[in-house]
């Protein structure tokens, strides 16, 4: 995924964050969201290493490496931001004080289970960090991820096959193809990206999708509803 698409996804996420929210931005793609929040509105960004306030990525050449986010990226703080011990930071996460957290993911299940800390591979290095605390502690969990894994299979599945970070915790998913909500009745497509059609999205997604929330002009030729196992068989061919 190129940097233009990454920034487009970050901008889309930023649109869904209400002013005044306390928001944790996870390592990787989610950190880009800080650069796209409107400057004329107030937000409280939180980082596990003990930062709270408003910041953006530092401009090249102006980095202060004593000011970093949890991904070890240099940040430029706005007036009023604060530093504190990471134990206090985790207390904020576990105490339910965050309105939203934005995380990356290896997999998400149709029921909102999240897998983002370990692929289970023998040579993989587990890196849970604060993900488990965020997944359960935040009031809403947004996931930013590529729609397909490196092997070409869907990251949105009936059930996670990787070790799970949190159960039934994901609220909304943003990919380069669509924005999707996890609901009690299934995965609902909120928005298609660019030239993506409903038919293509369903063909590359590992679960049956609900397109009822789309405007009629966006739906095109909707695929007939199919069982999850039928979709998975097609993806594995």
Residues with active-site annotation: 48
- Beta-bridged to residue 207, according to DSSP, are none
C-alpha closest to that of 203 among 162, 152, 151, 142: 152
Q: How far apart are CA 61 and CA 64, in angstroms?
A: 9
- Beta-bridged to residue 11, according to DSSP, are none
* Beta-sheet strands, E only, within the chain: 22-25, 44-47, 51-53, 55-57, 75-77, 82-83, 100-103, 107-109, 114-115, 140-144, 156-157, 172-174, 178-183, 186-192, 209-210
40 half-sphere exposure, CB direction, 13 A CA radius? 0
Burial letters 61-100, b for 16+ CB under 10 A, else e: eeeeeebbbbbebbbbbeeebeeeeeeebbebbeeeebbb
C-alpha closest to that of 57 among 25, 102, 84: 25
Helix or strand (DSSP H, E) at 13: helix 3-15
């Amino acid at each position: 995924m190129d940097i233009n698409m990454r920034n487009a996804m970050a901008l889309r996420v930023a649109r869904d964050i209400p002013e005044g929210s306390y928001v944790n931005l996870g390592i990787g793609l989610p950190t880009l969201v800080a650069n796209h929040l409107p400057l004329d509105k107030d937000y409280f960004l939180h980082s596990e290493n003990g930062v709270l306030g408003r910041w953006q990525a530092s401009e090249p050449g102006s980095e202060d490496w004593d000011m970093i986010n949890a991904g070890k990226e240099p940040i430029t703080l706005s007036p009023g931001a604060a530093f504190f011990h990471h134990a206090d930071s985790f207390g904020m996460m576990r105490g339910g004080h965050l309105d939203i957290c934005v995380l990356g993911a290896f997999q998400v299940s149709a029921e909102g289970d999240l897998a983002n800390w370990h692929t289970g591979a023998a040579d993989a290095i587990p890196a849970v960090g604060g993900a488990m605390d965020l997944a359960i502690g935040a009031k809403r969990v947004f996931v930013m991820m590529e729609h397909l894994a490196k092997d070409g299979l869907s990251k949105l599945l009936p059930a996670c096959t990787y070790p799970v970070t949190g159960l039934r915790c994901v609220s909304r998913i943003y990919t380069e193809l669509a924005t999707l909500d996890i609901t009690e009745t299934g995965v609902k497509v909120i928005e298609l990206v660019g030239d993506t059609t409903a038919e293509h999205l369903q063909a590359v997604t590992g679960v049956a999708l609900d397109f009822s929330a789309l405007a009629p002009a966006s739906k095109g030729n909707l695929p007939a509803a199919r069982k999850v196992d039928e979709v998975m068989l097609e993806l594995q061919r």
